[in-house]
Copies of this chain bind each other. A is one copy, B any other.
Amino acid sequence: MKLTRQGHAFTEIVLETFKFSGLLTTEGDRITQIYGLSSARWKIIGALERSDTALTVPQIARVMGQSRQAVQRLVDSMHKEGLLVFIDNPKHKRAKLISLAIDGKKVYTTLQQQQVPWANKHSSEIDEKELEITLATLKKLSEKFAL
């Protein structure tokens, strides 16, 4: 069987996604380093901040496309550090709801102040329409493998 034109583009996108993800992780580790954070922890904070309600660990995992165990480990560690708070979940005795603690919000705000100019800078030369198409396409593709 041969690759269709779309199949070829898709394959290239997959490889470029791996590369970009790796580069972004390194960049995120660099940015968050002085606050004692990391890319992985920043993503947890971001997922919580972007949600209008508090989330359980498995919910965060689904949003991030990762295993619940990986998220659980980070959440427990960040809770111990005082970045997160556990809220009793009326719908489940064990599955607590996770929310940002005061410290977590502070760190998020500080990082946000760096993230905004960073995002603006790296996207300024690229056509907005193309960015929108890229985002929509990535979302479509992600859906096909959603957990």
Contacts and interface: CB of A to CB of B under 8 A. Distances in A.
Interface of A: 1-27, 43, 46, 63-66, 113, 115-117, 119-120, 122-124, 126, 128, 130-142, 144-147
A124 B4 CA distance: 8
30 contacts: A1-B120, A2-B116, A6-B120, A6-B123, A6-B131, A9-B123, A9-B128, A9-B134, A11-B115, A13-B135, A15-B43, A15-B46, A16-B135, A16-B138, A16-B142, A17-B20, A17-B24, A18-B24, A18-B25, A18-B64, A19-B65, A19-B142, A20-B65, A20-B145, A22-B65, A24-B145, A126-B137, A130-B133, A131-B137, A133-B133
A23 B137 contact: no
A3 B145 contact: no
Nearest to A6: B123
A138 B142 contact: no
Nearest to A139: B16
Contact of A145 (B5, B16, B23, B65): B23
Nearest to A146: B23
B6 A126 contact: yes
Contacts of A13: 131, 134-135, 138
